[in-house]
Amino acid sequence: MARVRGNIDINGRKCWTLFDTGSRNTYIAREAVGSLPSWDIPTPEKVAIGGETYTIRRECTLMGKVEGYWVRTRARILEDIGYDEEGRRLEVIFGALAMEEWGIYPIPEEERLDLSHYPKEFVEYWAL
């Protein structure tokens, strides 16, 4: 599991983020959602994070910049995510599915992100 901490700029607000390959999905604290589009989900989902169990009732489209690169992904909204190892309040957990989609690779030994694989274009293939 690779983990790196940094900021995501959401509507000009820097949100302290854990980029965590051990988390499949992306989560955002309610206070960080602001004006992002959000909606109720039809069936609440239970999730365990950091030894606590939460019930997810809303999601949003997280749109922001990671080191100057635009990202967009679905995020499950939590009342509160908690704190990192240094006692700083986390506002976003950016999960493995979103990192894969946007070519983001955490390098924990250097406490940085590798965005050299950020997609310049999306090419989709389908069979006719």
Per-10-residue mean pLDDT of the chain, 128 residues long, equals 90 96 96 96 93 94 97 96 93 97 96 94 70
Cα 71 from Cα 25, distance rounded (Å): 14
- The predicted pLDDT at position 1 comes to 66
User: What pLDDT score does 128 carry?
Assistant: 63
How distant is the alpha carbon of residue 122 from its chain centre?
20
d(CA 89, CA 31): 11
- Give the whole-angstrom CA distance, residue 66 versus residue 103: 11
Per-residue pLDDT, 121: 79
